[in-house]
Amino acid sequence: MSSVDSASVSAGPLDGIRVADFSRVLAGPYASMMLADFGADVIKVESPAGDDTRSWVPPVDDHGVGTYFSSVNRNKRSVVCDLRTDEGLARAREIALHADVIIENFRPGVMTKFGLDYKTLQRTDLIYCSITGFGSTGGAHLPGYDLLVQAVGGLMSVTGSLDSEPSKVGVALVDVVTGQNAALGILAALRHRDATGRGQRIDVNLLSSLLAGLVNQASSTLATKESPQRMGNAHPSIAPYETLCTADGPLAVAVGTDRQFAGLVRVLGVPSLASDPRFATNTQRVAHRGELKALLEEQLALRPAAEWSSVLSAEGVPAGKVNSIVEALELAEELGLDPAVEMTDDAGPRTSHQVANPIHLSETPASYRRLPPLLGEHNDATFAALSTTSTGK
């Protein structure tokens, strides 16, 4: 784990871009954190109760801050604006008028009620990103929760084994993908503004993000008019591409080519399977996946998963044991990927352990400048700074 000295941080590619973040929970805060990591000045606008995830505990870090909140809120300033009061609404509007980008994930119509919607703000250079669960038209009344979208969006129908109930993914993946889409849309809009001087409205929703994220599964459904079935850890179009049993636990084997299959069966001591008519090509292996799995597991049962992972990887066959998250972080560290950073707040002092930004830029890398903020931590400094600048951008 690397340590971060905020004093030595250089300007990022989004330095000078101010983001007013009215979002909460995951998709919006994830998007704004990605922008903040690359230099954007993100002002997190919270209600007096704070972002919902501040209370989603346990677990907490060494300072009692919820790890859910911390995971998507570094590098931001927190201010409190009670939108139910005139003073709070005036402060929120002041922040909005000084922002290059606004991100919000209220139910459709809420920002309009407060006069903080794209049309009311009347800024030709404003980039305004709205994140909803099901869009702002026919699905405006539906609540946008990740579990719900995984269910109605089809992801659960292809997750789990055929003899088990449909299962959600082990993390709020739809929120994360939607946050990435929002960040990408904002960057595209900033590029357009650089060229034309004009901002624009961006609409991103969880259901559309999930459907696009289903990639081959959605594509096959459109082509065949048939919905894929749950296959556990197997792949509908590739074999062997799944977890297989070994002497002490599962091994993930991701064979994508005939060459890799030949290497696999050679290491397992059954090289003749590569020329067996049932398994010579991927199409044939998919057609006979049940027979193939039984033959492979018969050999794999002779040694533990970690040992097979080592010898198969050395042979160029993609294989690995199923790690815990602790083991996954350790693996990334061993590979020199620097998967985590330790941020320190000299004013506290506080520290926060964070998963590093996965995007590596050679000239303007991500930076880690501010710990996930305490509620309203930056009220005084933020409003004092805004009062010294002209209203509007």
**Structure confidence at residue 10 (pLDDT):** 65
Average pLDDT over residues 97-118: 96
Q: Which region among 55-69, 154-168, 297-311, 345-359 has the lowest average model confidence (pLDDT)? A: 345-359
pLDDT band at 391 (very low <50, low <70, confident <90, very high): very low
Q: What is the pTM of this model?
A: 0.92
Contact predicate 205/135, CB 8 Å: yes
**Structure confidence at residue 320 (pLDDT):** 97
**Structure confidence at residue 28 (pLDDT):** 98
Average pLDDT over residues 30-49: 98
**Structure confidence at residue 266 (pLDDT):** 98
Question: Does the pLDDT at position 387 exceed 90?
Answer: no
Average pLDDT over residues 210-224: 97
**Structure confidence at residue 347 (pLDDT):** 65
**Structure confidence at residue 7 (pLDDT):** 47
Residues 100, 163, 175, 345: which is the catalytic one? 175
* Average model confidence (pLDDT) across the chain: 94
Kindly report, residue by residue over 260-288, the tens digit of the pLDDT. 999 999 999 999 999 999 999 999 999 99
Percent of the chain residues past pLDDT 90, beyond the cut: 89
Contact predicate 53/66, CB 8 Å: yes
Kindly report, residue by residue over 335-359, the tens digit of the pLDDT. 999 999 999 987 668 899 999 999 9
**Structure confidence at residue 47 (pLDDT):** 97
Domain architecture of the chain: domains with CATH: 2-215+362-387 (3.40.50.10540), 250-321 (3.30.1540.10)
In eight-state DSSP terms, residue 60 is B
**Structure confidence at residue 350 (pLDDT):** 87
Alpha helix segments (H runs only) across the chain: 27-37, 67-70, 86-97, 110-113, 118-121, 146-152, 173-196, 206-213, 215-224, 258-267, 282-287, 289-300, 305-314, 325-334, 379-387
Long-range pairs for 33-37: beta carbons < 8 A, 24 or more residues apart: 33/72, 33/73, 33/74, 33/75, 33/76, 34/179, 34/180, 34/183, 34/357, 34/359, 35/101, 35/183, 35/186, 36/74, 36/75, 36/76, 37/12, 37/74, 37/75, 37/357, 37/366, 37/367, 37/368
Please return the burial class of 218, using the count of CB atoms within 10 Å of its CB with bins 0-12, 13-18 and 19+. Answer: middle
Question: Does the pLDDT at position 182 exceed 70?
Answer: yes
- Catalytic, 5? Answer no
Can you read off the two tokens belonging to residue 127?
């980039």
Question: Does the pLDDT at position 209 exceed 50?
Answer: yes
Can you read off the two tokens belonging to residue 233?
């850890």
Torsion of CA 73, 76, 79, 83, to 10 degrees: -60
Question: Does the pLDDT at position 217 exceed 60?
Answer: yes
Average pLDDT over residues 99-128: 96
Question: Does the pLDDT at position 310 exceed 50?
Answer: yes
**Spatial distance between the Cα atoms of 46 and 214, rounded to a whole number of angstroms:** 33
**Structure confidence at residue 392 (pLDDT):** 45
**Structure confidence at residue 113 (pLDDT):** 96
Q: What is the CA radius of gyration of the chain?
A: 25
Percent of the chain residues past pLDDT 70, beyond the cut: 96
